[in-house]
Structure 1
Amino acid sequence: MPAHVSVPDDLVLHGPRVLGFASPGRIADRFGLDRDEVEDRLLEFAARGWVVHTRFADSGRWSLTEAGRVEDERRMAAELELTGAREHVVEAHTRFLPLNKRFGKVCTDWQLRPTRTEPLAANDHTDWRWDERVLRALATLGRDLAAVTDPPARCLQRLDGYSDRYLAALARVDHGDRRWVDSPEVDSCHRVWIQLHEDLLATLGIARGAEG
């Protein structure tokens, strides 16, 4: 049976939850939607009090209101019931949690390189062995992530692609562009990971910080 395809209304509302402050273009690109259609739906949701528009320099971004978060979680719960995917997503979240702890430690190791005199010294990336160890750990996490996301993605199409995006970012790191480890400006390993975490929380209606 093919994976369930979420309706555009649900994806547009879900977009700002997963992506954070998101432009219509980012939402459209993430879910394969028409940008004009995304903009129209965001305006409708703003009229309902579900999203709010904020300007940053010469661009505008959208975020969910509290009412929008409630509505998004209601829709996600309904989708789980419709597709019978709840068990798969719950299992994915359970398996994700220990990976998330490992990922946090690896990201810290990428950003910091402790010395005997300075335990919080910034990593200047001159220690090749240190960075190689971190990159090997990131690669291992990428393989483990695929095993977590593949089962629910076979039920819900919107959960597909996370591991592919993560590994694509890691490939750019391997080609020498270190931004793709943790930069918020590109689709980095860290950015993909955070979005997946938020997607799982929103889909299951779990408040951040309330995980066991």
Structure 2
Amino acid sequence: MAAAVSAVDDLVLHAPRVLGFAPTGRIADRYGLDRDDVEDHLLDLGARGWVGSAAFAGTSGWFLTEAGRAEDERRMAAELDRTGARPVVSDAHTRFLPLNARFARVCTDWQLRPTRAEPMAANDHTDWRWDERVLRALGTLGRELTQLTDPLGGCLQRLDGYGARYAAALAQVDLGQRRYVDSPEVDSCHTVWMQLHEDLLSTLGIPRGADG
């Protein structure tokens, strides 16, 4: 059975929940949509009070309002019921939680390298063995993430691609682009991971932090 395809209006509303504050182009690129079409949908959603726009420091973008968050969760719940995907997404979320705890520890090890004198010392990335251990752990998590997310993409098209995006970030790390581990400015391992977590939570209507 082919994966269910979400309505464009639902995707445009859902994107700021997953991406956070995001410009039109980033929303369009996330789901492979036409930018002008996305802009039209955003303006309509804004007129309904479900999204807002803001500009600061030379950047502009869209965000969900509280009413928009409620509407998004209503639509996501309806989609799960309509497609029968709820058990698959719920199972993926349950399996994701222990991986998420491991990922958090690995990210901490990338950012910190404790010493006897300073338990919270920043990792200056001069210890090759330390960093290689962290990168091996990220690779293992990536393989497990792909196994977890493949069934998601098989039932809902909008949930496809997380494993591939994570693998692409790791490939950049292997090429020496270490910012692809955790930089919020690029599609890093951390960025992809956090977006997947938010996608699972918002799809299931679980408040952030309520899943431990």
Give TM-score scaled by structure 2 length. Answer: 0.99
Per the alignment, in what secondary structure is the counterpart of residue 17 of structure 1?
helix
Give the paired residue count: 212
In the alignment, does 2:114 pair up with 1:114?
A: yes
Aligned counterpart, 1:179? 179
TM-score scaled by length of structure 1 = 0.99
User: SS of 1:60's equivalent?
Assistant: strand
**Matched residue, 2:49:** 49
In the alignment, which residue of structure 2 is the partner of 1:147? 147
In the TM superposition, 1:1-212 aligns within 5 A as 1-212=1-212
Whichever residue aligns with residue 42 of structure 1, its letter is L
- The alpha carbon displacement at 1:56 in A equals 2.5
Letter in 1 for 2:66: E
CA RMSD of aligned residues (A): 0.7
Distance in 1 (alpha carbons) for counterparts of 2:190 and 2:18: 14
Letter of the 1:26 partner, please give it. R
Partners in 2 of 1:195 and 1:209 — Cα distance?
Answer: 14
Residue 77 of structure 1 deviates from its aligned partner by 0.4
Where 2:101 maps in the other structure, the secondary structure is helix
Which segments of 5 or more consecutive residues in structure 2 lack a partner in the other structure? none
Alpha-carbon separation, structure 2, partners of 1:35 and 1:163: 25
2:90 counterpart SS class:
helix
Q: Shift of residue 147 of structure 1? A: 1.1
Rounded Cα–Cα distance in structure 2 between residues aligned with 1:35 and 1:57: 23
5+ residue gaps in structure 1? none
Partners of 2:178 and 2:190 lie apart in 1 by: 12
Task: Give the Cα separation in 1 of the matches to 2:131 and 2:56.
Answer: 35
1:195 positional shift: 0.2
SS in 1 for 2:62: strand
SS of 2:95 mapped into structure 1: helix
Kindly state the Cα deviation for residue 57 of structure 1 after the two structures are TM-superposed: 2.7
Secondary structure, aligned partner of 2:155: coil
Identity %: 75
Structure 2 CA distance, aligned partners of 1:174 and 1:64? Answer: 36
In the TM superposition, residue 152 of structure 1 has moved relative to its aligned partner by: 1.7
Deviations 1:86-138 (A, max 9, x none): 00000000000000000000000000000000000000000000000000000
Alignment partners' CA distance in 1, 2:202 and 2:156: 14
User: Whole-Å Cα distance in 1 between the matches of residues 134 and 115 of structure 2?
Assistant: 17
Matched residue of 1:182: which SS? coil
Describe the superposition over 1:37-63 as per-residue Cα deviations: whole angstroms up to 9, x where unpaired. Answer: 111111111111101101023331111
